[in-house]
Chains A and B, each alone.
Chain A
Amino acid sequence: MKESTDILVIDDEIVILDAIKKIASLIDLTSDTCLNVDEALNNLNQKKYNLIICDIMMPDKDGFELLHIIRQKRIQTPIVITTGFSTLENAVKALYEGAIGFIPKPFSVDELTSIIKRGLEYGKIFTAQNSFTKSKNEDLLSFVPCPPKYYRLGYDSWMNKSSEGTVLIGVTDLFLKSIGMIKEIDFMKPEETVYQGGTCLKIYDNNEFSHQVIAPISGKIIDINEKVIVNKSLLEKDPYFQGWIYRMIPENLEHEINNIIPCSSDI
C-alpha cells in the first residue's frame, strides 16, 4: 500500500503552491507541491493522491499534457485545472481532456475550498464505482451515467438535441452527487446567452459553498424548467429527463459539438 496524501498541487509559481497548500491545511488536508509535470509524475509513482490541482501554462509540459499522461496511465485520481489564462476555450478543453473541474485564477479561499471538496467526492464516487463494477452488480451503481445519444462536457453538464432545433441542457448525476445536499440554485434568465465553457448555473450546498456548472454548448435560453425551480429534489431524482435545466437555441452547435463527449462512448 502506497503512502497516501490528499492533494498534489502543480504550478510553476511558488506563491500559488503555498496559497493552495495553506487553503488545504485550513480544511485539514495534506498536500504535496511540484513545480513541474515531471516532478509530479515522479510523485504519482511513489504516492497515492486523492486529488490533483494543476496549472495549465508551465514550462516544458503543460497541464493538458499531464491530463493526457494520467489518462494513459489509467490513474483514477481526479484532476482540477486552474489557470491565469482563463478563457472559455481553456475551460472547455480542460473538461474535454478529463479534468473534473476548472477554476480560474485568482480564486478566493471559498472558491477553491468548494472545488477541492467536490474533487475529493469525485474520487470517492469513482472508487465506489470501480468496486461495484468489479462485483458486476450494475443495479448498485453509485451514479447514473448520462444516456446514450446525449453529449456531456466533462462530468459537469449534458446536452441533448431536442425537437425543432432546440437543445436541452442539464447537470450530470456525478456532479450532483459530488455536491451533496442542494440548498439553493442560482438560475440564469430566459433570453440570456450562455457560452460553452462559461458558467450557466450556480448550486449552493448545505455548507454555503457555491459550485459553478459549466455550460456544454452556447445558445440563447428560451425556457427554464419550472419544475426544478419549484422542486429541487427532482434534479437529484431524475437529472437526465425530468430534471433538465434550460431549453436553448444553440448558437454554433455544428462546431461546438466537437468539443463535447458523446455519452454513447462511455458504455
Chain B
Amino acid sequence: MIFSFTKIGMKLILIVSLTVIIIFAVFAYFSIQDQSENLITEVERHANQLSETIRHSTRFDMLANRREHVHNIINRIGEESSITNLRILNKEGEIIYSIHQDEIGEMVDKNAESCYACHAENQPLQKLSIQERTRIFRIDPDSSRTLGIINPIYNEQTCWEADCHAHSEKQTVLGVLDIAVSLSEIDKVADQSSMNMIIYTLFAILLIAIVLRLAVKNLIRKPVQNLVKATNYVAIGNLNHRIASSRRDELGQLANSFDNMTKNLSEMRMQLFQSDKLASLGKLAAGVAHEINNPLTGVLTYSSFLLKRAQDNPEMKADLEVIVRETKRSREIVKGLLDFSRQSTPRRGKVNVNEVIENAITIVSNQLKINHVELKKEMLNTLPEISGDANQVQQVILNLIVNAIDALGNKGGKIEIVTTETRLSPYGVTKIRNATCPKGHDLMDSEHKIDGRPSIKLKAKSGKNEGFIHLDPVYGNHNHHYGIEFNKNEIIKLFCPQCGISLVDENDKGPDCGAPVYNLIIPEQGILKGCTKFGCGWQKWDFVDKSGDRNFVEIKISDNGCGINKDDLDKIFDPFFTTKGQKGTGLGLSVIWGIVDNHKGKISVESVVDKGTTFTINLPE
C-alpha cells in the first residue's frame, strides 16, 4: 500500500526522481565532455612539446648523419609508458626510426593514420596547423584510445648543405615525426567521473525521496487522513467530530472550513429536528383541539342552556355562571393551541405587547397556580404597538415565563412582568452584521461569538507580541475579547487578519483621548470609527447616528428564583446549551434570541445566584 503509485507521495517522488535523473544526466554529459576535452588538450600540448623536443634534440645528429644517436634518443624517449609509438618516416613513407624495431624499413600507406592528415586531399598539404597535426584513433576496436601527433620535418638550408648530401634543395618536407600517446589514463578518469556522477545521482534521488516522503507524510498524508476520517464520521452521522487543525496552510483552511461545515450541519440538523418536533406537536395540538372542542360544545351549550332556565334560582345561577365562564376559558386555551399549530407561517403585523403578555399568562395560568407563583404585572396602558409577529412575540414571553417558573422550583416565588416605553440611542443597540478591511476582506468571525453574535476579528500588535482581538459586534458595547495582554492606556496597533493592512489612521485622532482612530468599513452603511487606546470606549458610526434615537417597547420579566451562575450567563443564548439536563433541548433561549434579533430588538439578562434573574427585551416600535 505504502509504495502504491496511486498515492500522492509516491507520484511526487517518481516525478522528482525523473527530473533529477534528467538534470544530472545532462549535467554529467556536458561536464565529463568538458573535462575530457581539457585533458586531451593538455595531453595534446604535452605531446606536441615532446614532438618538438625530439625534433630539436635529433636535429644535430641528423645533420651529422649519426643515425645510431637518433635511434638511441628515440628509443630512450619511447620508454615512457604513455608513449605507444614514436617513429620518423621519410618523405616516401618508409619508417626510418621507430621504437618498434620490427617496423623499421616498412612502408606506410598514404591512408595510414600518420599520413592521413596531409594526404587526405589529392594534393598533399605542405603546412599543417597544430590542431590538424593531431588525431585520436583506436588501433583496433578493443584497445584504448590513442592520440597521434605528426610533426613534419621541413627542409632547411643546413639540411641540403650537410655533408651527407642526403637531401636536395628542392624538397619541402623531408619526413614526419609521428608520436602516438595512449589516452587510456584520460578515459579512465572520464569513466571514473561518470561513475561518480551516477553514484551522486542515486544518492540525491534517495535523499530527495526520504525528504519528500517525510514532508508528504507530515504536510499532506496526515491532514488528508484526518480529513478522510472526519468525512467518514460525518458519513455515518456523527456531526460532533472536529478536526481542530492548527495548521495555516491550504489543508488547514480546508480542515477549518470542514469543521465549520459540520458545526453548521449539526446546528441545522438540531433545528430541523426541533422544527419537525414542533410541526408534529402542532399537528397533535390541532387534533387535540378538535377533539376537545366537541365535548366542550356539549358542556358550554348545556350549561348556558341551564343558565337560561335558572334565572329564578340565584344560587344555582351563580354556580352555572362559573361553569360557563370556565368553559369559555377552556375554549380560549384550545384556541391558543390551534394558533400555536399555525405558527409555522409567520405573519407580520401590529402587535400589542400587553395583549400578547395577557394571552401568554392565560396559557400558563394553571402552571403558575400549581407552582405557587405570585404574578405581579405592571403594564403601561399607553404602550405603543410594535410591528412584528404576535405569535413569535408570544412564544418569547411564554418561554421566559416558563423558564422563570422552572427557576422558582417547587417552593414557588414571585414573577414580575413590567412593560414600559423607552428611548434608546443606536449606541449600544445597533448590531454590526458585516465589516471589512479597506481591501474588502471580511472581518466577521462566526466562530468566536460575543453575546451570541459573530464578533469582529482583528490582528493586534503590542510591542513584540502579536495576537487577535475580537471586538463586540454591538455598536458602543465593549465586551471585547482580547487574545493578548495590553498595558493600561496602551495604543493598540490593529491590522486585517487576512491581508495585514493597517486599520489605523494615524492622522485621525479620537476626541476623547487624542489617540489614533481605527476604521472598519461597514458595507453600504459607512465607516465605523473607534479609539485605539486600550480602555478608551470611544466609537462613532455616523451612518447609524444620523437616524437618531428610536422608541422601544421594553419588557422586563423577573423572578426571584435560583438565578444563573456567572459562567453559564455567557452561554445561555447558545444553541443546545441547557442546564435542565434531559428535560430541555437547549433551544428555548436561542430561539428567543433569534426571534428578538429578527425583530431588530435586543435581549439581555441580569442574574444573581439565589436572588433571581431578570430578562429585559427591547423591541423597536
* A-to-B contact residues, CB < 8 Å: 13, 15-16, 18-20, 22-23, 26, 57, 83-87, 104-110, 112, 191-193, 195, 218, 220, 251
- CB neighbours of B373 from chain A (8 A): none
- CB neighbours of A251 from chain B (8 A): 347, 349
Contact: A85 with B290, CB < 8 Å? yes
Closest residue to B339 on the A side, CB-wise?
Answer: A87
Contact: B301 with A191, CB < 8 Å? no
* B-to-A contact residues, CB < 8 Å: 286, 289-302, 304-305, 308, 324, 327-328, 331, 335, 338, 342, 347, 349-350, 385
Contact: A192 with B350, CB < 8 Å? yes
- CB neighbours of B301 from chain A (8 A): 19-20, 22-23, 106-109, 112
A110 to B301, CA, bound (A): 9
A233 to chain B, nearest CB (A): 31
- CB neighbours of A108 from chain B (8 A): 300-301, 304, 324, 328
Q: Which of B291, B296, B305, B349 contacts A106 (CB 8 A)?
A: B296
Contact: A191 with B385, CB < 8 Å? yes
Contact: B299 with A86, CB < 8 Å? no
A110 to B307, CA, bound (A): 12
16 example contacts (A-B, Cβ-Cβ < 8 A) are as follows: A15-B294, A16-B297, A23-B305, A85-B286, A86-B293, A104-B293, A106-B294, A106-B300, A107-B301, A108-B301, A109-B305, A110-B304, A193-B349, A193-B350, A218-B347, A220-B349
- CB neighbours of A109 from chain B (8 A): 301, 304-305, 308
Closest residue to A18 on the B side, CB-wise?
Answer: B298
Contact A220:B350 (CB < 8 A) given known A19-B302, A26-B308, A109-B305? yes
Contact: A105 with B293, CB < 8 Å? yes
Closest residue to A190 on the B side, CB-wise?
Answer: B350
- CB neighbours of A16 from chain B (8 A): 294, 297-298
- CB neighbours of B305 from chain A (8 A): 19, 22-23, 26, 109
- CB neighbours of A20 from chain B (8 A): 301
How many contacting A-B pairs (Cβ < 8 A)?
Answer: 82
- CB neighbours of B299 from chain A (8 A): 106
Closest residue to A11 on the B side, CB-wise?
Answer: B294
Contact: B350 with A106, CB < 8 Å? no
A86 to B304, CA, bound (A): 21
Closest residue to B286 on the A side, CB-wise?
Answer: A85
B295, B296, B301 pick with most chain A CB within 10 angstroms: B301
Contact: B290 with A106, CB < 8 Å? no
A56 to chain B, nearest CB (A): 10
A18 to B305, CA, bound (A): 12
10 more contacts with CB within 8 A, not counting A19-B297, A218-B347, are A16-B297, A19-B298, A19-B305, A23-B305, A86-B335, A106-B298, A106-B331, A108-B301, A108-B324, A110-B304
Contact A84:B298 (CB < 8 A) given known A108-B328, A109-B305, A110-B304? no
A106 to B286, CA, bound (A): 15
A19 to B305, CA, bound (A): 9
- CB neighbours of A218 from chain B (8 A): 347
Closest residue to A110 on the B side, CB-wise?
Answer: B304
Closest residue to A56 on the B side, CB-wise?
Answer: B290
B389 to chain A, nearest CB (A): 11
A251 to B349, CA, bound (A): 9
A146 to B598, CA, bound (A): 42
A83 to B349, CA, bound (A): 27
- CB neighbours of B342 from chain A (8 A): 87
Contact A107:B290 (CB < 8 A) given known A86-B338, A191-B385? no
Contact: B293 with A84, CB < 8 Å? yes
A108 to B331, CA, bound (A): 11
B471 to chain A, nearest CB (A): 39
- CB neighbours of A220 from chain B (8 A): 349-350
Closest residue to A55 on the B side, CB-wise?
Answer: B294
Closest residue to B342 on the A side, CB-wise?
Answer: A87
A115 to chain B, nearest CB (A): 13
Closest residue to A57 on the B side, CB-wise?
Answer: B290
| Nearest 9 pairs of A and B residues by beta carbon | A84-B293, A193-B349, A19-B301, A106-B297, A15-B298, A106-B296, A109-B304, A84-B290, A105-B293
- CB neighbours of B295 from chain A (8 A): 15
Q: Which of B292, B294, B300, B350 contacts A13 (CB 8 A)?
A: B294
A106 to B338, CA, bound (A): 13
A108 to B325, CA, bound (A): 11
A106, A107, A193 pick with most chain B CB within 10 angstroms: A106
- CB neighbours of B327 from chain A (8 A): 106
A193 to B390, CA, bound (A): 11
Closest residue to A15 on the B side, CB-wise?
Answer: B298
A214 to chain B, nearest CB (A): 16
B387 to chain A, nearest CB (A): 10
A188 to B610, CA, bound (A): 46
- CB neighbours of B300 from chain A (8 A): 106-108
A246 to chain B, nearest CB (A): 14
B147 to chain A, nearest CB (A): 104
Q: Which of B286, B296, B347, B349 contacts A105 (CB 8 A)?
A: B296
